[in-house]
A = this chain, B = another copy of it.
Amino acid sequence: MAGPRWLDDHQQRAWRGYLAMQAQLQAQLGRRLQAESGISLADFDVLVALSERDAPLRVQELADGLQWEKSRLSHHLARMQKRGLVERQDCPDDARGAFIVLSIEGRRAIEQAAPGHVEAVRALVFDGLDDRQVEAWAAISDEVLARVEQDRAKGS
């Protein structure tokens, strides 16, 4: 390695701004969701994934869709099941496997939570950005994500 190249001023400013924005946005969306609907952002993601595909879902499929580690999902599902948000069914094809389904309570929770959450995202993010900025943001996210995934694949 030929000595690190540091960030220039613009990059430094963009990076610090991004870090602050990212942390605060996530925290605020989480607080609002918790206050208005009693669920966390993680719960929300699981419930959305389950309700989008309205059929029993294998744990691994769910993990792939969410891009979560299987053990994180396993722990999280156990907690959600204890709170009555999801239910398990056993899987006839594969005795190791498990199916996860939304409970009545879980469906009620996601339907109650979604409008407020979407509204919060719109109010905190998209109401402040014009079309060109939204396009730019998507392009930046795609580019960075591609590099991260390439790096992840290389490093492992």
Contacts and interface: CB of A to CB of B under 8 A. Distances in A.
A116 B26 CA distance: 26
Interface in A85-102: none
Which of A7, A11, A122, A129 has the most B CB atoms < 10 Å from its CB? A11
Interface residues of A, number: 58
B145 A24 contact: yes
A24 to B, nearest CB: 5
Number of identical protomers: 2
Contacts of A21: 140-142, 144-145, 148
A54 interface: no
Contacts of A126: 7, 11, 15
Interface in A107-143: 115-116, 118-119, 121-129, 131, 133-143
A138 B24 contact: no
A5 B122 contact: yes
17 contacts: A4-B116, A5-B118, A5-B122, A6-B118, A10-B138, A17-B145, A18-B141, A20-B145, A23-B67, A24-B67, A24-B149, A25-B144, A25-B148, A124-B147, A125-B144, A127-B147, A136-B137
